[in-house]
């Protein structure tokens, strides 16, 4: 089973931890760190996520038991990028994936099958990132608002008559 982060059950999982043991000490700090990492991922603040992850020994301890954690996160980020973009700058992708230029190029071409053209990465079209024509039609007529219009005029006339 692959780890999928962020997951809706994250908050539920945190609530299953015994509150008295999570209130202080190392577990409290670990939970706070996990929350920060989760918020960064959910908010698509991938650069902040990687900075926090790479700059903290506690984070290294937290993810040590999850095989391929960083690759799983990178694939998830790539999937989300593929849903929103058809082209993205290599420098943005480097920050989002937490990799240097060469590692980003390797990940992009070998792991997700995208192409690099100059300083941009081309994301293949898919149903999520294609522009689609959408027709929005609203049938609104005066009859639908007649009671509201009538009431506003009655209130205005009543207010005018009392003045």
- Position 90 in a domain: yes
- Position 147 in a domain: no
pLDDT digits (tens, 9 = 90+) for 82-121: 998 999 999 999 999 999 999 999 999 999 999 999 999 9
- Position 55 in a domain: yes
Model confidence band, residue 142 (pLDDT cutoffs 50, 70, 90): low
pLDDT digits (tens, 9 = 90+) for 30-75: 888 888 888 898 899 999 999 988 887 887 887 888 888 899 999 9
- Position 80 in a domain: yes
Tokens coding 118 = 């100059």
Q: What domain range is 74 assigned to?
A: 10-122
Burial pattern 12-24, b for ≥16 Cβ within 10 A else e, equals eeeeeeeeeeeee
Output the pTM of the full model.
0.71
Count of domains for the chain: 1
- Position 163 in a domain: no
């Amino acid at each position: 089973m692959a780890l999928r982060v962020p997951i809706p059950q994250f908050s539920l999982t945190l609530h299953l931890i015994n509150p008295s043991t999570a209130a202080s000490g190392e577990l409290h700090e670990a939970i706070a760190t996990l929350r920060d990492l989760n918020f960064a991922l959910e908010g698509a603040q991938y650069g902040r996520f990687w900075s926090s992850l790479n700059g903290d020994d506690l984070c290294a301890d937290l993810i040590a038991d999850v095989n391929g954690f960083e690759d799983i996160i990178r694939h998830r980020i790539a999937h989300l990028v593929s849903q929103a973009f058809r082209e993205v700058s290599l420098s943005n992708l480097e920050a989002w994936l937490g990799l240097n230029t060469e590692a980003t190029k390797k990940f992009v071409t070998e792991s997700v099958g995208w192409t690099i053209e100059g300083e941009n990465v081309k994301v293949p079209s898919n149903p999520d990132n294609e522009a689609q024509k959408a027709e929005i039609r609203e049938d609104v007529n005066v009859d639908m608002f007649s009671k509201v219009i009538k009431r506003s005029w009655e209130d205005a006339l009543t207010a005018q008559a009392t003045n």
